[in-house]
Each structure stands twice: as structure tokens, then as C-alpha cells.
Amino acid sequence: MESVFGLVGRDFAIVAADTSAVHSILVHKTNEDKIMVLDSHKLLGASGETGDRAQFTEYIQKNVALYQFRNGIPLTTAAAANFTRGELATALRKNPYMVNIILAGYDKVTGPSLYYIDYIASLHKLDKAAFGYGSYFALSMMDRHYCSDMTVEEAIELVDKCIMEIRSRLVIAPPNFLIKIVDKDGAREYAWRESIKDAPVPTA
């Protein structure tokens, strides 16, 4: 089962996700990127049904870009989160997307923020959030060690503690994790935490 979690620090937000793409008992790949860079200052970490995840997050990314093209200014994190919730809520009673989302962003005015959106479109702004079986461990570790105003080093230390806990206590633990960060300088990949390395695939 996929793990995604995130937290808000002093002037940044971090999203971490496992990177295994699993189909029943088979592991297709161990370096699947589940944290989409929505725009320059937003991250969308998603877990759930693989097809829904890929399609829905790309749909949100393109609509966020469209807004910026049409209006000349980017969406705020709150607006992007509410848009995402609206799309999930509209689809809920027709053709639901089985995707759980952690949306993190940095706005110049309001600073870093993190939004929890579950697959039935419940939206809540939080300082720390997690999805999947890994959430049982990640949330407990964060409840114990999190404080507001953490530096990047402290936050990464906490993320690593969560990853170690998931790796040691979850029976089918994902081997690799990806950590992305968003701050005033933008959204970018921060680090990989690998214990199994896939052979690199030649690009087309």
C-alpha cells in the first residue's frame, strides 16, 4: 500500500512518498514519481489507484497552468486545493477518482501551507498529514517530534525517522522514498532514500 506524507516547516513544506508501482503481487518499478510539481511553487503528492492518480494529477496540473495563462497570475495554494477538491467532489457520485492527495505550496503572502484531500473530497488545511498504511507510523512519529517552525534539517531528520519506521514496521514496506520540498525558491526534488536501485531504463 502506498505511503504519502508531508509537513510544514518554518518557511517551506515537504512532501515525501514511496516510489513503488505495484500491481497485485508484482512490483512494476521502484522509482515511480508520485509527487507532481503542479507549478513553480506547488507540490501534489498523490496515492491510490495508479491510473486515477496519473490522470487526475495531470488534469489538475494542466488546469492550474491554464489559469495562469488566462489570468496572468498563478493560483494560490488554497485556491488550487479547493479546485482539486471541487473536481474530486463533482466526480464522486459519478465516476470517483480513488486518489488521496497532499497538496503543499508556498505563497509569498501567506507562506508555506499543506492541504489534506482524501479520495472522497474531504479538504482540510494541516501542518502534518499522511496517507496509507505508512500513515499509522508517520503520523505517530510526527505527533511526537514535530514542532512548528522547524528548519529544513530538523524536518528532513523527522521525515527520515518516519521512513525508517515505515521500513522497519510495515510488513510489505516500500524500499524507496522520494522527498520533495517547496519554499520561496520554488518546488523541487530534495532527495531520494533508496534501499533498492532499479537498472536505469534507456529513454526513447
Partner 1 sequence: MSIFEYNGSALVAMVGKNCFAIASDWRLGVQLQTIATDFQKIYRIHDKLFLGLAGLATDAQTLYQRLVFRHKLYQLREERDMKPETFASLVSAVLYEKRFGPYFTQPVIAGLSDGDKPFICTMDSIGAKELAKDFVVAGTASESLYGACESMFKPDMEPEELFETISQALLSSVDRDCLSGWGGHVYLVTPTEVTERILKGRMD
Nearer to partner 1, 88 or 179 (CB): 88
Residues lying near partner 1 in the complex (CB under 8 A) are found at 85, 89, 92-93, 116, 118, 120-124, 126, 129, 135-136, 139
The torsion defined by the Cα of 63, 69, 70 and 71, in degrees rounded to 10, comes to 110
Cβ neighbours for 128, distance < 8 A, ≥ 6 positions apart: 5, 6, 7, 8, 114, 139, 142, 143, 146
Helix, strand, or coil here: 104?
strand
Minimal distance, residue 111 CB to partner 1, in Å? 18
Which residue number, 3 or 135, has a Cβ lying nearer to partner 1? 135
3 state DSSP class of 75: coil
Beta carbon nearer to partner 1, 112 or 193: 112
Q: How far is the CB of 97 from partner 1 (least distance, A)?
A: 13
Output 17 or 129, the one with its CB closest to partner 1.
129
Report the nearest approach of partner 1 to the CB of residue 149 (Å). Answer: 18
Residue 20 has what DSSP assignment?
Answer: -
